[in-house]
Structure 1
Amino acid sequence: MSYVSDNPLVAPEAVVVGAGPAGLMAAEALGAAGLSVLLAEAMPSPARKLLMAGKSGLNLTKSEPRPRFDAAYRPRPPALAAALDGFGPEAAMSWAEGLGQPLFIGSTGRVFPRAMKASPLLRAWLGRLDGLGVRLARRWRWTGWEAGGGVGFDTPEGARSLTPRVTVLAMGGASWRRLGSDGAWADRFEAEELAPFAPANVGLAVEWSPLMERHFGTPVKGCALSAGDTSGRGEFVISRRGLEGGGIYAVSRAVREGAELTLDLLPDLSLDEIRVRLARPRGKTSVSNHLRKVLNLDAGPRALLQEFARPLPHDLAPLLKALPVRHAGPRPLDEAISTAGGVRFEALDEGLMLRRRPGSFVAGEMLDWEAPTGGYLITACLATGRHAGRSAAAWARAR
């Protein structure tokens, strides 16, 4: 798709700002409703964050019992619930297959395209939008609302102003600045419409002792993590900057809100079973080797035990079941996979339209919600984009 400066869509009926998953889905809904659509993207190419996510396998959604899926979203106000009810995991899978992308479900319920990458799906999606008459304007950066209901842009040809019947804003959150999600749009909103940005699905900063350097890059598997009312098993990595990976991301909200993080390094063994094994004669074997031999404890967990619990007490069993993690808080916002905060749902009606600006809708990570990785993020971006696009189309038709 390409935008041509003399294209008749210089005065489109609908403008979508942001060509990530939420914006592309909003454009699809508006185009399918018969509206002429201009899709304005600040970056040179669309869906950069989606393409980046696809490098390690594009996790589209999560196949699991619906109550468990719904519980992953916090908060889950009526507008978000309505969006996910209209486009949940099954709908996301059908939609991707409709774009010619065969899927498979992994052992944990995560759903991926068989191609694993995002680029084949994106190409097919852009082709569908082209068929609907959607036009893409690259390097168009939204500058805000203008008098008379217009929307302004900085473009390669200079400042431009459009007066569409409806506008859908889908400019992402405030992480991964280099991919276009910089949160700069927040300056155009009233303070009461916004919840402060905070890192979500983010690693923890740890000031390691020099002894940990040889463990950087070591994966830690099979542990159970607990923080506040959030707990579960997950893999993570010891990195130079701290602790990173899905297991840490799953508890990052609770940790961000002040809960202590503890690790159960041996979740399949009880406290008594661990004590029985540790009581076996050690002889001249080091503590670390004894833990390896009698408990089959890997190098990563053993290193964390030494780092966070020295000097080690005589009774190690309680620490092996609940090792307190000493950290310096979440990594910086721009390193987060996603962001909490953004446009409050109280500032929107159930169709995701801004109460203060009739005809302007908001979707995707601009909204104040969060969820763990594992397919929940992309599904909600697609769902809210579709919901905002359909609501915008209905609002435009009614007028």
Structure 2
Amino acid sequence: MFNKKISTPPSDPLESNPFAKNARILRSPLLKSNQQQHQLEGALSQSESFLPQANIKVANEAAILEKLNQFEKLCETLQKEVNDLKVENQRLKDSLLLSEKSNDVSMKGTEIVNEFHTDEEELALETDWILKKNRKKNAKKRKAESSPEMDNTVITSKPSKSGKETVKVIKTKDKEIAKIIKPPPVILSNITDFNKVQDVMSSQKIKYEIKLLNNKQLSIKVNSADDYRLLTKLINEAKFEWHSYENKATRPCKVIARGLHPNCNVERIQHDLNEQGFNILSVVNIIKKKKENDKVVIDQLPIYMLNFDHSEDIDKIFSITHILNTKVKIEALKKQGEFVPQCKRCQRFEHTQAFCNREPRCVKCAGSHLTTECKLDRKAPPKCSNCHEAQLPRMCSGNRAKK
């Protein structure tokens, strides 16, 4: 009745079990051979990838070796050239020495040959200027050698044996040099009649020398102090305008003392220096003027100017260390700078009022009177007596000239 389909069992049991089929495939020798082939192909591909790098490395090493060989060859060639240069240098030195010796021998031979053919007159004419130049050099050298060494000298002034002249004595270790100091010249101004000057000078027996200067001025020089005093007396009696300069023979020695109190009594300072054995003439305290609230204020400075007699030893003066039991420092006077000195009497330059006997001129109004006698208002503008401009004489262009 019923038609039943009867299933037949499979001929191969592995077909019904897939896992068993896979296991059999994995155990098959064919599969193993395939795996080994894949491994060999992978190793071959890796070796092929490393091969270019190895080739590059080998090529680099070969290039380096080639460069090293070239460098060694270059060093060898340079060393050969250095050796050749040394040999050449030594050869040149030897040839130079031989040439110098031959020149010496030839020069000696020429001197001997030409010795008998020298023209003495022509030689004297050609070498005369050289001899004169050498004489001047030798004279300067002798003068320098004969001059005293200033480090070990003592300079003093004393009257001569006749008493009419002043002698400057310079003492050194080996010798003593005496030099006569002449009085300074006297300058006469506004001279219109030279015969009048001659008449005045010839009235007394004076040895003098006259030199003509510019601006109607005459310079008169004498040789002794007595003649100088007589000359000044004569020109004062004749009412000449004149000025002179400080006499170097009687000029006091001026120094600066620092370290004393500004309020020290100058008489006590002078007395203390006299007790120390110094012949001091005067002591002056240096002051400084300044304006405060339109008023002039005077400040006393701890600086004093000491004036010693010209006969004092300058080294002894600079050895002073204490005054009034106070430690001090002695210094030389500083120069006035580039400006020339100006007279406060006549307002002219190159001399001072202490040695001026010219017509006075006012520093404010340029009038013919002393500045202390001027009646001009203090606040009025000044007038220069030299350039006649509205300025003080110290601002004049004539005072800007260097010494």
What is the TM-score with the length of structure 1 in the denominator? 0.19
Which structure's CA Rg is the greater one?
2
- Compare relative contact order (CA 8 Å, sep 6+) and give the higher one, 1 or 2: 1
What is the TM-score with the length of structure 2 in the denominator? 0.19
